[in-house]
Amino acid sequence: MGKIAVVGAGAWGTALAITAARAGNEVTIRAREPEVVASINEQRENSLFLPGVEIPSNIKAVADFAELDTPDFLLMVAPAQFVRLVAADLSKTLKESVPVVLCSKGIEQSSGKLISDVMAEVMPKNPLVVLSGPSFALEAARGLPTAVTIASKYQKLAQSLAEAIGQPTFRPYLSRDVVGAEIGGAVKNVFAIACGVVAGKQLGENARAALITRSLAEMVRFGESRGADPETMVGLSGLGDLILTCSSPQSRNMSLGMALGEGKDIAEIMKNRKTVAEGYYTSEILYRIATEEKIDMPVAKAVYDLLHGDKKLDDVISELLSRPISKEEMF
């Protein structure tokens, strides 16, 4: 039986803890909120972030990083904008030999850095693995079939993580392309907001299909700018996650876009959110990077204009639709 630690007891951290426990591991999950620690240990439920799912008895919640001991793998599942701070605290007690599995999806807004680069800065010695792919927390937690990409330059580690947490209903696929796996998960959140706008404004399924396809082209371009393999972009962590997140109001990012498309105000939507819609933060930095580096990303720009600019929805849509005719290029 292996030992898995999870840092971040939001919906995804909790779902991954349940998945790892279901595979037979002893799991310790560190929650930031004392009420979440109590809820997991006493009610066997994370009633704040993943209500309605039973927590198996081989999961223990703790408040203190020091209680995580020395796991075989540590899963980092804090929201992307908090990973630097959380990792800095964690690094005070975690041994440098413990492999860290990055499960967060985003780009650091203050620096424009990929979160794997943030981890390399803050915890440079811990071997890094990325876990990404189309995976709604609730479905994975309920044991519904899910497939993910596990990427690392240390293939033996990727393999042993896959063996430790894999099971018929949670199938990992292995990759060496850490940056590619990470970028797909980070930028699809921005495009899911755009697809939500299409749904909320009832622009139709043709528009949504076109938007997903053109978003994939932008994902490929951005990925190439960071050295990602275009093939990774059409795998689970890229196209797979793009399709999932752009197709279901279960997605926090798509539902944020739907609210915008229905005419709600962004400040109102963001007020009092307790769950994270990573695309909101990623869209701002993605637009800045694309502008500075001249990466053609019109859909990402449209989302930026809606969330962080002061453009009107109808103006943003007509700007996107009246771009000059160009050649259809993906790669």
Neighbours of 263 (CB within 10 A): 9
Residue 73 DSSP one-character state: E
Smallest distance, Å, CB 170 to ligand NAD? Answer: 13
Q: Determine if residue 82 is labeled as part of a ligand binding site.
A: yes
Residue 9 site contact among ligand G3P, ligand NAD, none (CB < 5 to 8 Å, cut-off depends on kind): ligand NAD
Q: Determine if residue 191 is labeled as part of a ligand binding site.
A: no
Q: Should residue 80 be labelled a site residue for ligand NAD when binding is judged by CB under 6 A?
A: yes
Task: Return the residue matching tokens 């009420």.
Answer: 35
Q: Which stretch binds ligand NAD (CB under 6 A): 37-45, 92-100, 271-279, 293-301?
A: 271-279
For residue 173, give the nearest of 140, 130, 216 by alpha carbon: 130
Smallest distance, Å, CB 119 to ligand G3P? Answer: 18
Catalytic, out of 3, 188, 201, 301 = 188
Q: Which residues pair with 76 in a beta bridge?
A: 7, 102
- With contact defined as beta carbons under 8 Å apart, do 208 and 320 qualify? no
Q: Report 147-186 residues binding ligand NAD (CB under 6 A).
A: none
Q: Should residue 142 be labelled a site residue for ligand NAD when binding is judged by CB under 6 A?
A: no
The residues binding ligand G3P (CB under 6 A) are 105, 134-136, 189, 192, 241, 244-245, 251-253
Q: Give the CA angle between residues 115, 140, 45 to the nearest 5°.
A: 95
Contacts of 33 (CB under 8 A, 6+ apart): 9, 48
- With contact defined as beta carbons under 8 Å apart, do 196 and 258 qualify? yes
Provide φ and ψ at 200, rounded to 5°: -65, -35
Active site residue 188: yes
Q: Determine if residue 12 is labeled as part of a ligand binding site.
A: yes
Active site residues: 188
Residues annotated within the binding site for substrate are 105, 252-253
- Give the residues lining the site for ligand NAD (CB under 6 A): 8-13, 32-33, 49, 77-80, 82, 86, 103-106, 135-137, 275-276, 278
